[in-house]
Amino acid sequence: MKLIFGLGNPEKAYDNTPHNLGFAVVDNLCSLFGGSFKKKKNALVAKIAEKDVILIKPLTYMNLSGDAVRYFVKKIKVPLENILVILDDIDIPAGTIRLKHQGSAGTHNGLRDIVQKLNTQNFSRLRVGVGKPENKDLADFVLSKMTGTLKKETDQGIALATEKAKQFIEENIKE
């Protein structure tokens, strides 16, 4: 069994913002595998039985993502190597992705909360780049609607991340 967490903020106002790229990737996976989300505890959950995977969108807001991740990791009892967290990242260029199987949270508060709540850095994370804005507050940037070039680039990143997450599910990739 694998758990795939897509990070984001639960309200409609945050759709199409950089901070919700994790949700977008998990939505793509759910559509690709023919699943549907149901509300369970503090998340939207889609079980894809034929792939032995559970897709999870925490409803705890980004900076408190660790609460939902910890709940499902403890409830379902999967090895840490079977967990993938998908999130946005300002520290890599828009439209690019980076898969790492352990490491620090970097500048991402949602990932930092997960590391703290799980008390480990030993799980996979798939970062979808949004780039760092010039002359703009970071919080405003990640919570603002995407348009123009940024939207085009992040759509490319979402597609790349969807494919990489699919490989993680089906092929148990290690990079």
Q: What is the Cα–Cα distance from 90 to 96, expressed in whole angstroms?
A: 11
**In this structure, what token pair is assigned to residue 88?**
């946005």
From 2, 5, 19, 130, the catalytic residue: 19
Q: Which residues contact 140 (CB under 8 A, 6 or more apart)?
A: none
Angle value at C-alpha 32, between 45 and 150, nearest 5 degrees: 90
Q: What is the Cα–Cα distance from 169 to 162, expressed in whole angstroms?
A: 11
Q: Which residues contact 167 (CB under 8 A, 6 or more apart)?
A: 173
19 is catalytic: yes
Enzyme catalytic residues = 19
